[in-house]
Amino acid sequence: MNNPLETPIEYLKGVGPARGELLRKELGIHKYADLLHLFPNRYIDRTRYYKINELQNSNAEVQVVGKVINIKTVEQKRGKRLVAKFVDDTGEIELVWFQGQKWIRENLKVNVPYVIFGKCTSFNGVFNMAHPETELLTEHEQSLRSAMQPIYPSTEKLTQRGITNKVMNKMVQQLFVETQAKFGEVLPPTLLQELQLIPKNAALFNIHFPKSNDLLAKAQFRLKFEELFFIQLQLITKNLIRKHKIKGHPFNSVGNYFNDFYQNHLPFELTNAQKRVIKEIRNDMGHPAQMNRLLQGDVGSGKTIVAFMSMLLALDNGFQACLMAPTEILANQHYAGLSELAEPMGINVKILTGSTKTAERKVIHEALENGSLHIIIGTHALLEDKVQFKNLGLAIIDEQHRFGVEQRSKLWRKNEIPPHVLVMTATPIPRTLAMSLYGDLDVSVIDELPPGRKPIKTVHRFDSNRLKVWAFLKEEIAKGRQVYIVYPLIEESDKMDYKDLMDGYESISRDFPLPQYSVSIVHGRMKPADKDSEMERFAAGKTNIMVATTVIEVGVNVPNASVMVIESAERFGLSQLHQLRGRVGRGAEQSYCILMTSHKLSNDSKTRMETMVRTNDGFEIAEVDLKLRGPGDIMGKQQSGVLNLQIADLVKDRDILSLARHHAIKLLKEDAPLSKPEHAALKHAFIEMSKKKSIWNYIS
């Protein structure tokens, strides 16, 4: 049987080719199914009919039953207006039209009962309603329209071309008539019973034409659950398939390297969170399936040591390990940290980046191929075809959102059996997003800071307090500490930003003059070599103040820097502010973050400043950020279109998401191939959905 929902939209009565083309372009509605799933944004409660003497000057939309008793055209300064007198048994109001007067005059019947609907305003003691919706009472009583009136998403172009909300409403009514409102159930009966979900037919009907608020809520819950349930099924299936199909090297032995390091060379006691995560990683790598784990930990939570100990497991089992970072600065920093840990144990570690000299490269390539090089750290340079391993057992990827899927899979292809993969990020991802975006990765979280770390003190100061702030900086510098002052550079070429930065640098150089003080500057227009040398001068303690744009956001490690001043902090997003703050607080001294803003702040900016001052917890900050910005922005440009959800909202529907994930896991445990007869409809829908280019094509 042909599925009527696959019918092209222009065949729906009342649509036709011209409207069909518009609906395709403006709302992406190609066929009946797309219109069915165009859910209303909001609803207007039309359960109540007002009497004219009950009307208030309240800007609320109301409906009134009455008759038009006369119509006249009134001249005004510019053009004219059409005015009708509308009465019921309690009084009268004026209906006014400024556009479409000819059509209204020809079609509006006098002395016939109408239902009018619109916003009432009072002018010189007389109530009037401009451009009301009008409907004959007889039609109003017959229409499929329910008490709650749906308001559909629209665009300016649609309204201009006469596809109003009323027209959309009619189209959806027509769709229900033509399909006889028969929509197949896809969820298994047991699930419907257990969660007391209303049937699919009832849910779709009540999302468009709710009979009551209660039924609307039930319809929304049912459809949100279904949408999130399918996403979770997809992600968990992917995870299961990978665990069964993608073979990995089982690292069975915990040998000399790991034990020697743990017993004799550990620079500090591991936190419980670090121990738990290492255990999860050891457990994964002990299985003959490829590990794919996301390691989340706030700035400074000690991910590096966890990464190093995972590498030692690979070495103990006769394999090599690599770590790939998005920038040279970050790669160099990892190299410095890891070589220091590896040196006492005689482990061979090298670094490979764009600036590695040709002669050195040759040596590295040979050592990798003959296995004498144990650990390689690098940037994208590791992906070049020339780079071949003897046996790569573990690939660690830092700040993964900066690498594409293609780039990651290039690393895998360097081995017949792909290496275990550990993805690290210091950008805390809210649990809800992690469940949706990385639902097919296993997630480990380091949620406590190493002992001895003092939480950074954050304060918000207005530009008018600048003198006090500068005095504080001088005190800190006198104690031998260093300071970052960061300016927003939203676009590298933004003239205004560049000017702000340069003006700032000049005034700082005046307020902190040579020879007593020395100031560095780093920004996006400098040559990479100059940037690096300025960074190095600051890291070596040769300059007291580093004036910079967000270039320094990721990975600069200067334990002696104790103050981060963020200029025009209201122009930064929360996650960026949190990342910048993480550049200080790396030594044993008390560190500070000072957010400088103007007095004019939007409500969102106020919330951001308050959140930063209140908490250092990256996960809490990520949750607030998600609420303020929505899921699209958090993942950056390339993934902003990822979650084209039709009805669910990752922020507001977190509980439904957790419920959907729980039931998806339970179902797949009982029947992974979905082969039971009661899962047939679910399986069919699942296969159809997987064919579409949708959320899952973006995920890892």
- Last residue in a domain, options 571, 600, 615: 615
* Residue-range definition of the domain harbouring residue 391: 256-285+301-425
Rounded distance between C-alpha atoms, residue 659 and residue 617, angstroms: 26
pLDDT cut 70: percent of the chain above it: 91
Q: CA distances (Å), 280 to each of 286, 293, 427, 434, 681, in order?
A: 10, 9, 20, 18, 37
Mean pLDDT of 103-109: 91
- Last residue in a domain, options 107, 127, 144: 144
Span of 203-207, 407-411, 466-470, 550-554 with lowest mean pLDDT: 550-554
Rounded distance between C-alpha atoms, residue 551 and residue 574, angstroms: 17
Rounded distance between C-alpha atoms, residue 569 and residue 420, angstroms: 40
6 assigned to some structural domain: no
| DSSP-assigned states of every residue in 669-682 | HH-TT--SGGGHHH
Span of 159-168, 204-213, 408-417, 633-642 with lowest mean pLDDT: 633-642
The model's pLDDT over 453-498, given as tens digits with 9 standing for 90+, comes to: 788 999 999 999 999 999 999 999 999 999 999 998 755 556 667 7
pTM listed for this prediction: 0.67
* Residue 631, pLDDT above cutoff 70: no
- Helix orientation angle between 213-245 and 680-691, rounded to the nearest 10 degrees: 80
452 assigned to some structural domain: no
402 assigned to some structural domain: yes
What 3 state SS string does 444-473 have?
Answer: EEECCCCCCCCCCEEEEEEHHHHHHHHHHH
Task: Classify 122 in phi/psi space as left (phi over 0), alpha (psi -120 to 50) or beta.
Answer: beta
Terminal Cα-to-Cα distance of the chain (whole angstroms) = 37
pLDDT score for 556: 63
- Last residue in a domain, options 118, 144, 170: 144
Residues 466 and 580 in one domain: yes
What burial class does residue 112 get, using C-beta atoms within 10 Å of its C-beta: 0-12 exposed, 13-18 middle, 19+ buried?
A: exposed
pLDDT score for 641: 38
Residues 583 and 519 in one domain: yes
The mean pLDDT of the chain is 87
66 assigned to some structural domain: yes
Residues 351 and 415 in one domain: yes
Task: Classify 555 in phi/psi space as left (phi over 0), alpha (psi -120 to 50) or beta.
Answer: left
Q: CA distances (Å), 158 to each of 25, 98, 152, 163, 286, in order?
A: 10, 20, 11, 5, 59
Residues 570 and 480 in one domain: yes
Residues 357 and 491 in one domain: no
| 3-class SS of residue 12 | coil
Residues 485 and 384 in one domain: no
> What CATH number does the domain containing 69 carry?
2.40.50.140
Q: How many CB atoms lie within 10 A of CB 685?
A: 17
Query: pLDDT higher for 405 or 256?
Result: 256
366 assigned to some structural domain: yes
* The token pair that represents 82 in the structure block: 């059409």
119 assigned to some structural domain: yes
Residues 495 and 606 in one domain: yes
| 3-class SS of residue 13 | coil
Residues 415 and 479 in one domain: no
Q: CA distances (Å), 456 to each of 25, 207, 215, 382, in order?
A: 51, 48, 50, 36
How many domains would you assign to the chain?
3
What burial class does residue 140 get, using C-beta atoms within 10 Å of its C-beta: 0-12 exposed, 13-18 middle, 19+ buried?
A: middle
588 assigned to some structural domain: yes
197 assigned to some structural domain: no
Q: What are phi and psi of 525, to 5 degrees?
A: -85, -5
Strand order from edge to edge, sheet including 545-548: 457-462, 592-597, 561-566, 482-486, 545-548, 519-522
Residues 354 and 471 in one domain: no
Residues 555 and 491 in one domain: yes
Residues 402 and 478 in one domain: no
Residues 356 and 499 in one domain: no
**Distance, CA of 544 to chain centre:** 37
Residue in 571, 602, 424, 565 with CA at minimum distance from that of residue 490: 571
**Cβ–Cβ < 8 Å for 93, 86:** yes
> What CATH number does the domain containing 579 carry?
3.40.50.300
